[in-house]
Amino acid sequence: MRSALDIAQSVRAGGSARAAVEATVAAVAARNEELNVFLHVDAEAALAEADAIDARVTAGEDPGILAGVPVAIKDNICQTGVPTTCSSKILDGWRPPYNATVIDRLRAAGAIPFGKTNLDEFAMGSSTENSAFGPTRNPLDPSRVPGGSSGGSAAAVAANMTPLSLGSDTGGSIRQPAALCGLVGVKPTYGLVSRYGLIAFASSLDQIGPFAHSVTDAALLLEAISGHDPLDSTSLPEPAPSLVAHVNDGVAGKRVAWVRELVEGADESVVASVEKAREALRDAGATIVELSIPELRLGLSAYYLIAPAEASSNLARYDGVRFGQRVDGEDVTAMMEATRTAGFGAEVKRRIMLGTYALSAGYFDAYYGQALKVRTLMIEAFSRAYGEADMLLGATTPSVAFEFGSKTKDPMAMYLSDVFTIPTNLAGDAAISVPVGTGEAGLPIGVQLLGPGRSEASLFAAARVLEKAEGRS
């Protein structure tokens, strides 16, 4: 599939947005039944948007930096009148009456939101096996998972259905599937992208970000959706950063820290890919240092108290009264219990119970309060590390894509898939995963670059160095 940059440049110069959408429609028709990527597609609506863009170009207008580019949307991002389910039975058939801010910004840039992609229910999972509508398969090896929770969004790009997609990252849900599908995936600084219209999992952690085949395409999409939004009280009060202009800045003079805790426990092939990335950055002029950040080992434990606690609160609104599915009962209490029992899957119930317990009287200080203290320790540790280095280097995931069912009976094994990505979410900083090397069965490996808040331009430049070192122009 053509790059997003190529499609947009062509359309702005008089090419056909309709042709770009038709290519996506054909690609989805060819593999969606096999891979279960899209839960909803309205091809006619997308073609109508493409025709409108072509008409604007004919009239002498410039539709924007993503003119005519189809973008797949994770099904926890609201779009007016389009089914938005979070891959949960409790929201089956619900059509939001409003757009998420990122949808409006995509259209303002000339992009065409195309379909809603599968995910782990309410974004809780690392394999997209928790979807109420069946798992998504990895396009590179359909016997394996695409990662999660944004597995559908990753698979849409990896299968060349769309050149770009949007996911959300709460504990690694963009970077982990990007690594397992051989893509570039970005977790932006918390507050850089509006969360308005993103159905909440854990509000202090969630962040929308891009999937793409290339660093430049990812930068293009992030630039289009970033910037202050008065509808999101946590939105950073500043305009979208310039990113595409800096992707070829290189790393000369930058200090890059190889972090021991970001490779501990990873497969040998993953460690080798991180070493390969370290040498490529050194060859490009970066100064490599080695750091140990022991606090990162606490990330998984803190996350699985903070995130479920916030989920317990956020998911309380699904009560069978205001919207979504309803199962009748003898009284209100019985109705709510029946609705939530039938509507939520096992993993969502597990996290709601864990979070409710952590917030309950007598346990709040021992669990949730303690986790918040650990989070502060991690933020301070990251701050010290960024005093010694401009960015950090490590693995994105401990292994390549794993086989279906191999971790579903052991929640802790599944949770460990995000052990390297979670710390960045707790700190609210920026990170990017970029493919470097291959492992078992020739499957791709993702290497992670981490930076302080608002360091996206530098991270894209470093990721571009790795991309070129891999021969991916």
Return the SS3 of 264. Answer: coil
pLDDT > 90 fraction of the chain, expressed in percent and rounded: 98
Q: Specify whether 97 is located in the same domain as 197.
A: yes
Catalytic residue among 74, 116, 187, 254, which? 74
Name which of 173, 238, 205 is nearest 418 in CA terms. Answer: 173
Name which of 84, 105, 66, 81 is nearest 220 in CA terms. Answer: 66
pLDDT confidence band for 105 (50 / 70 / 90): very high
Known active-site residue 468: no
Q: Specify whether 61 is located in the same domain as 134.
A: yes
pLDDT score of 322 more than 90: no
What is the mean pLDDT of the segment spanning 296-319? 97
pLDDT confidence band for 323 (50 / 70 / 90): confident
Let me know the angle formed at the C-alpha of 347 by 196 and 441, rounded to the nearest 5 degrees: 95
pLDDT score of 36 more than 90: yes
Q: Specify whether 61 is located in the same domain as 179.
A: yes
pLDDT given for residue 411 in this prediction: 87
Q: Specify whether 102 is located in the same domain as 167.
A: yes
Is residue 382 one of the residues assigned to a domain?
A: yes
pLDDT score of 144 more than 90: yes
Q: Specify whether 281 is located in the same domain as 378.
A: yes
Q: Which residue has the tokens 């070493």?
A: 275
3-state secondary structure 300-369: HHHHHHHHHHHHHHHHHHCCCCCCCCCCCCCCHHHHHHHHHHHHCCHHHHHHHHHHHHHHCCCCCHHHHH
**Among the three residues 238, 268, 285, which one is the final residue of a domain in this structure?**
238
Structure tokens at 343: 């509507």
Is residue 384 one of the residues assigned to a domain?
A: yes
The model's pLDDT over 164-195, given as tens digits with 9 standing for 90+, comes to: 999 999 999 999 999 999 999 999 999 999 99
Q: Specify whether 420 is located in the same domain as 279.
A: yes
Q: Specify whether 292 is located in the same domain as 324.
A: no
For the chain, give the number of residues.
Answer: 473
Is residue 250 one of the residues assigned to a domain?
A: no
What is the mean pLDDT of the segment spanning 114-125? 98
pLDDT given for residue 473 in this prediction: 73
Is residue 243 one of the residues assigned to a domain?
A: no
**Among the three residues 365, 394, 413, which one is the final residue of a domain in this structure?**
365
Q: Specify whether 420 is located in the same domain as 401.
A: yes
What is the mean pLDDT of the segment spanning 328-355? 96
Known active-site residue 153: no
The model's pLDDT over 212-229, given as tens digits with 9 standing for 90+, comes to: 999 999 999 999 999 999
The model's pLDDT over 7-26, given as tens digits with 9 standing for 90+, comes to: 999 999 999 999 999 999 99
Q: Specify whether 356 is located in the same domain as 330.
A: yes
CATH number at residue 191: 3.90.1300.10
Known active-site residue 74: yes
pLDDT > 70 fraction of the chain, expressed in percent and rounded: 100
pLDDT confidence band for 3 (50 / 70 / 90): very high
Number of domains in the chain: 3
Structure tokens at 219: 């930068």
Question: Cα–Cα distance between 117 and 123 in angstroms, integer?
Answer: 12
**Among the three residues 365, 396, 415, which one is the final residue of a domain in this structure?**
365
Is residue 244 one of the residues assigned to a domain?
A: no
β partners of residue 193: 226
pLDDT given for residue 450 in this prediction: 99
Q: Specify whether 147 is located in the same domain as 67.
A: yes
Q: Specify whether 285 is located in the same domain as 234.
A: no
pLDDT given for residue 422 in this prediction: 98
Catalytic residue among 87, 126, 149, 399, which? 149
Structure tokens at 329: 């009962």
The model's pLDDT over 237-282, given as tens digits with 9 standing for 90+, comes to: 999 999 999 999 999 999 999 999 999 999 999 999 999 999 999 9
Question: Cα–Cα distance between 280 and 465 in angstroms, integer?
Answer: 7
pLDDT given for residue 384 in this prediction: 98
Q: For the range 422-425, what are the long-range contacts, defined as Cβ-Cβ under 8 Å and sequence gap of 24 or more?
A: 422/171, 422/172, 422/299, 422/300, 422/303, 423/296, 423/299, 423/378, 423/382, 424/187, 424/450, 425/169, 425/170, 425/171, 425/172, 425/187, 425/190, 425/205, 425/207, 425/303
Catalytic residue among 88, 165, 168, 173, which? 173
Domain of 325, in residue numbers:
301-365
Is residue 225 one of the residues assigned to a domain?
A: yes
Is residue 248 one of the residues assigned to a domain?
A: no
